Structure 1
């Protein structure tokens, strides 16, 4: 698996990754995380991915020459408690569902931990959807993260997690 810097040309591919994740979650009745509508064609989602593509923090995991996942790192979201020390924050993580089981997300999170260490940050944080069956929180825990603090954005339940790089 190769991890490379994301670029504006990747915007449609990243939107499609989110589309595949939304379709999969919806098919499982787990719609609380990202809803039921595809990201492609949604102006707000397109603007968000465009910002990431220009931020310098977007990375794409390529598997056998095909883009399989995306991670975005940078400053923490404003809805979480600020970190008490230098950190790197995972702003977004998505895997194209065609590559489920290929460890794409785990590999991208390991890259983020290495990147945090290289930047001199002793903390890697991420937040995620904590509703429904809790499987997303459990996934991050399986990747070495520890629960730090529950929070909510309106009705959306979230969990802030951290990991030492």
Structure 2
């Protein structure tokens, strides 16, 4: 997908994109921490977390990653799968689904609506696969800002969950 009016190109990702995605995650942790949010992803950069690098490597090889590039530079990423993480306290849907496992952007590209572009792309990929349900889960703390972000993109909150003390929200969007 190309959005030449904004210089955005979305392409399929792969193992070679893992370092860029890891950098995006690290920049997101720093940005959240600078805003006072130390609960969502903690205070340790993903590149320094036990298993952080391996998780990103799995995203890039075992799932379906997409990279949003701005003028050729990887600037945001999403990861789609056929259901939630099996280790998460979230039940799979009772029908075929696509699941957004990751949505992150490099904070240097804030304000470019890259997350919106990647979510629109996830909707199209879900439709193209003949699947009618797209789901995502997110952190429900911090006054629900992230939940509201997904609601603005057509998702409806379904169930809540706790992962330890971490409050989560599952959201769903019907794809016609």
Normalised to the residue count of structure 2, the TM-score between the two structures is 0.90
User: Secondary structure at the residue paired with 2:47?
Assistant: coil
State the alpha-carbon separation in 1 of the partners of residues 157 and 59 from structure 2. Answer: 25
Match of 1:149 in 2: 159
Question: Which one is further off, 75-84 or 24-33?
Answer: 75-84
Offset of residue 56 of structure 1: 4.5
Pair 1:91 & 2:98 matched? no
User: Secondary structure at the residue paired with 1:11?
Assistant: helix
| 1:103-118 mapped onto 2 (5 Å cutoff) | 103-118=113-128
Q: Is contact 1:22–1:38 with CA below 8 Å preserved after alignment?
A: yes
Q: Alignment partner for residue 85 of structure 2, among 60, 69, 77?
A: 77
Offset of residue 48 of structure 1: 0.3
Q: Alignment partner for residue 12 of structure 2, among 5, 8, 12?
A: 5
Q: Is contact 1:19–1:38 with CA below 8 Å preserved after alignment?
A: yes
- Cα distance change on mapping 1:32 and 1:150 into 2, 3 Å: same
For these two proteins, the number of residue pairs brought into alignment is 165
State the alpha-carbon separation in 2 of the partners of residues 88 and 94 from structure 1. Answer: 17
Pair 1:38 & 2:45 matched? yes
Match of 2:5 in 1: none
State the alpha-carbon separation in 2 of the partners of residues 101 and 130 from structure 1. Answer: 22
| 1:43-54 mapped onto 2 (5 Å cutoff) | 43-54=50-61
User: Secondary structure at the residue paired with 1:149?
Assistant: strand
User: Secondary structure at the residue paired with 1:162?
Assistant: strand
User: Secondary structure at the residue paired with 2:48?
Assistant: coil
Pair 1:68 & 2:75 matched? yes
State the alpha-carbon separation in 2 of the partners of residues 38 and 150 from structure 1. Answer: 26
1:62-110 alpha-carbon deviations (Å, 9 max, x no partner): 0111111000000222321221211100011101111111110011011
State the alpha-carbon separation in 1 of the partners of residues 79 and 113 from structure 2. Answer: 17
Q: Which runs of 5+ in 1 are unaligned?
A: none
Q: Which runs of 5+ in 2 are unaligned?
A: 1-7
State the alpha-carbon separation in 1 of the partners of residues 14 and 92 from structure 2. Answer: 28
